[in-house]
Structure 1
Amino acid sequence: MTDGTPTGKGALNPAASAREIKALAHPLRLRILRLCGLHELTNKQLADRLGQDPGTMLYHVRQLLATEFLEPGEVRTGESGALEKPYRSTGRSWRLDTALDDAGSNGPLAPIDALREELAESGPHALASLSRFVLHLSKADADDLISRIYDVLREYTDTEASRTGEPAYGGMFVLHRSPD
């Protein structure tokens, strides 16, 4: 549902607040979240992996810390003997289908840009499935489709902890109204 109403077994991911939407409105931050969801990484490791200046990376990490999408891990000793401060995703999920007006013009496209960058980095062999479609739907049909897809996704996200040893797959569901 796009109105945030809980359905099925448990509530849908909460709609992001205006502050959270702003934090999520940058593809680099979304890539940081994905990487820190797989491994605890330091600012330097993130900067190296994503080809960014460490200062730029720290700015984006702080935005994610402030909105509790990231949290600091335990300080550790790195390979060179220096202390390192890693970060990890808190595992919070969100929906950007409500209050998108608060995200600015690039907000709704940030997840798509991040996914495009991840696909380019992964290469064509990493793509497990791609479907492009056009459907004629009433508002009620569109709401039903979204709800049913969220229900299927929830079945997997609710049991994710039992599969952490398996390969990680990323994905995105986008339903948009055609300009035609």
Structure 2
Amino acid sequence: MTEGSPAARAAMNPAASAREIKALAHPLRLRILRLCGLNELTNKQLADRLGQDPGTMLYHVRQLVSTGFLEPGEVRTGESGALEKPYRSTGRSWHLDTALDEAGSNGPLAPIDALREELAESGPHALASLSRFVLHLSKADADDLISRIYGVLKEYTATDTSRAGEPTYGGMFVLHRSPD
């Protein structure tokens, strides 16, 4: 199994189950995961940050906890002296190469919608790079391109803790077949 090959990617980031895909098929849940990957946040903090009511936020948080993408942190005392229950990302990785149709029509687009919302929130000066391209690729070429890009991403994610004091960047790599 070569590094970055589809089989190696599947071993490192197992395919999400149908239940997990459904949990990830909502852009708000993906934004919750991103935020809780950076800091432990309470339901109220998430609701305030994402402009949602606490009841809606709790529903989405529970979906992520039940599928193992979020976990409760240590109960702590908040600024007002009340006890708070923060949540943090478990850091589980997944890929959505298979079973996307089980997530419903919005499943594959949820990460794109979440990214669009994050970009809008960040403002126009936050964009570090954007590349739009069209390529003619065989299946082998597409697999090679994906493997090579995942290899570079793996290098950076494996050493990310060493750069914890640096600004946080987000991104997404999407390769799709053109309808043409």
TM-score interval, normalised by the smaller of the two chains: over 0.9
* Cα distance between partner residues in 2 of 1:53 and 1:103: 25
User: What corresponds to 2:29 in structure 1?
Assistant: 29
Residues of 1 paired with 2:18 and 2:157: CA distance?
24
Q: CA deviation at 1:38?
A: 0.6
**Equivalence for 1:95:** 95
1:5 is aligned to 7
Q: Report if the CA contact (8 A) 2:5-2:143 is conserved.
A: no
Secondary structure in 1 matching 2:140:
helix
What SS does structure 2 have at the residue aligned with 1:6? helix
Deviations, residues 72-118 of structure 1 (Å, cap 9, x unaligned): 01100011110000000111111112211111100000000000000
Which deviates more from structure 2 when the two are superposed, residues 127-136 or residues 162-171?
Answer: 162-171
Distance across 2 between alignment mates of 1:97 and 1:27: 18
Q: 1:139 and 2:144 equivalent?
A: no
Q: Mind listing any 5+ residue stretches in structure 1 that lack a counterpart?
A: none
On the 8 A contact 1:4/1:12 being kept in 2, the answer is no
Q: Which residue of 2 aligns with 1:175?
A: 175
My pick for the range that moved more, 112-121 or 97-106, is 97-106
Q: d(CA) in 1 for partners of 2:65 and 2:92?
A: 12
Contact 1:12 1:150 (C-alpha < 8 Å) held by counterparts: no
| Alignment RMSD | 1.7
Does structure 2 retain, via aligned residues, the 8 Å contact 1:100–1:107? yes
Partner of 2:110: 110
Identity over aligned pairs, percent: 88
Deviation at 1:12, TM superposition (A): 3.5
TM score, norm. by length of structure 2 = 0.94
Count of aligned positions: 178
Deviations 1:56-85 (A, max 9, x none): 000000000011110001100011110000
Q: Distance between the aligned counterparts of 2:55 and 2:99, measured in 1?
A: 30
Structure 2 unaligned segments of length 5 or more: list them. none
Superposition TM-score, scaled by structure 1 size: 0.94
Q: Say whether residues 1:75 and 2:91 are aligned partners.
A: no
